[in-house]
Amino acid sequence: MKVRTLLVGLAVVYCTLVFGWTVQASDLGLFEGEKGTLKIAGGTAHIPVMKEAAKRIITFNPDIQISIAGGGSGLGIKQVGEGLVDIGNSGRKPNDEEISRYGLQVFKWAVDGVGIAVNPKNPVRSLSKAQVKDIFAGKITSWKQIGGSDKKINVYTRDEASGTRAVFWKKALSKGEISSKAYFVVSNGGMKSAIAQDPNSIGYVSVGYIDNTVAAVSIDGVAPTLENVKEGKYKVARGLYSNTKGEPTGLAKKLIKYLLTPDGQDIVADKGFVPVK
């Protein structure tokens, strides 16, 4: 099978965050007196929340260092299971085999939708589920067939390690085919950039990443909005999880606990996701 890969964005995002402004203690009191390094990797949808939480924690307590990498849900599960990171993020719940093999503990701290997106220059804003399946399978190949211009449809997808792909494939495509002619991108951020740069593109991205650089597309008349995800109207949705090998301890335990505090859930909402509390 021919596979084409489009390198857009970074396969891995790594940052050690140090900032020079003041944060009120509130729920950050969890980190009072702590020292050490916390390593996080996995799902790219999680990164905006993780970066903001890390920024607040490190500003409150500069003796803590936090590294955040992407790589996709599958990588996050594998790396935490092998002891390479302290927290492995995933945009799907680890399956029973993964939980058993690695002894994972699973923590859900947000709900996210996965929305279809096109370039803002594209007039198509609504598709039926049948049309979506045919586009991604390569059966509908021109925008003219669905009310757009007479241009070839460029399909963008994620690799099979992606939790975003997993939920889209299962819930939007009903586990249908994804064309071998699709372009692969490595992250939610990369997908958004690719769609923003290609007038004939279609892809899918975490609802938390949708902004004015891309245009959201409704499925069967339901738009991929935060409100529709929250109310259960938009069905292409999933949990965002942080996983640990065994019971979390130290900074990993405190970060997960922080994400479930009022402060942490405010970050979740601010970044375009649905809080679980």
Q: CA 5, CA 211: separation in Å to the nearest integer?
A: 24
137 and 57 part of one domain: no
Q: Determine the 3-state secondary structure of 158 from DSSP.
A: strand
119 and 107 part of one domain: no
186 and 255 part of one domain: no
Residue 5 located in a structural domain: no
Q: Which domain holds residue 99?
A: 10-111+239-275
130 and 220 part of one domain: yes
pLDDT value of position 277: 84
Residue 4 located in a structural domain: no
Residue 130 located in a structural domain: yes
117 and 225 part of one domain: yes
Q: What is the pLDDT along the chain (277 residues), one digit of tens a residue?
A: 333 433 333 333 333 333 333 344 579 999 999 999 999 999 999 999 999 999 999 999 999 999 999 999 999 999 999 999 999 999 999 999 999 999 999 999 999 999 999 999 999 999 999 999 999 999 999 999 999 999 999 999 999 989 999 999 999 999 999 999 999 999 999 999 999 999 999 999 999 899 999 999 999 999 999 999 999 999 999 999 999 999 999 999 999 999 999 999 999 999 999 999 8
Contact (CB, 8 A) for 79 and 31: no
Residue 125 located in a structural domain: yes
Torsion of CA 182, 183, 186, 191, to 10 degrees: -90
103 and 135 part of one domain: no
Residue 3 located in a structural domain: no
DSSP 174-215: TT----TTPEEESSHHHHHHHHHH-TTEEEEEEGGG--TTSE
Structural domains of the chain, count: 2
73 and 124 part of one domain: no
225 and 180 part of one domain: yes
DSSP class of residue 16 equals: B
Residue 206 located in a structural domain: yes
Q: Give the CATH number, domain containing residue 38.
A: 3.40.190.10
131 and 204 part of one domain: yes
Residue 17 located in a structural domain: yes
pLDDT value of position 227: 94
102 and 117 part of one domain: no
Q: CA 116, CA 168: separation in Å to the nearest integer?
A: 9
Residue 2 located in a structural domain: no
93 and 125 part of one domain: no
78 and 126 part of one domain: no
